Amino acid sequence: MTHAPLRLSRGIVRPEWIDFNGHMNVAYYMLAFDDATTVFFEHLGIGEGYMKRTNCSTFTLEGHITYDREVKEGDVLEFATRLLDFDSKRLHYFHEMYHVEQGYLASTSELITAHIDMSVRRMTPFGAETLKRLEALMEAHRDLPRVPQIGRTVGIRHKAAAG
């Protein structure tokens, strides 16, 4: 059975990740999400072992992180991951980072990743087995409710003047 969204990864906010504001520094959100991506890719069968067997890997093409609520040293984090879309060469996926003890959404990460033939370092199609796994996962995730962080753009939202 494929769960929607996937809950494959947990982590803890380490002391060295804390900045002078007393919370996790922005750079370490990327690291925490990268760890969640590693677990997600292992689940899909396209992790490090796949690269060693096939000489194909993945490169991130674009990413967007939101910082919804702060996390602090020692907080336990859980990651929920959903596949948003894919084609023969790319994945579009979304991670949500939750504070385990208090249950709030702390951060999100939306990414597009390309499948790369490492011998020429160019995009190449996924194999049939991987595409089959992706289709099954997409079927499970297709009807998940869309959260507001998906597809956001960066910009200052100005409030309309009261009139």
Does residue 162 sit within a domain?
A: no
- How far apart are alpha carbons 48 and 42 in whole angstroms? 8
* 109, 33 contact by CB (below 8 A): yes
Residues near 44 by Cβ (< 8 Å), separated by ≥ 6? 130, 133, 134, 137
Domain interval for residue 57: 6-120
As a whole number, the mean pLDDT across the chain is 94
Query: What pLDDT sits at residue 1?
Result: 44
Say whether pLDDT at 105 is over 80: yes
Put simply, whether the predicted model's pTM sits higher than 0.75 gets the answer yes
Tens digit of pLDDT for each residue in 114-162? Answer: 999 999 999 999 999 999 999 999 999 999 999 999 998 888 888 887 6
List the CATH number of the domain containing 109: 3.10.129.10
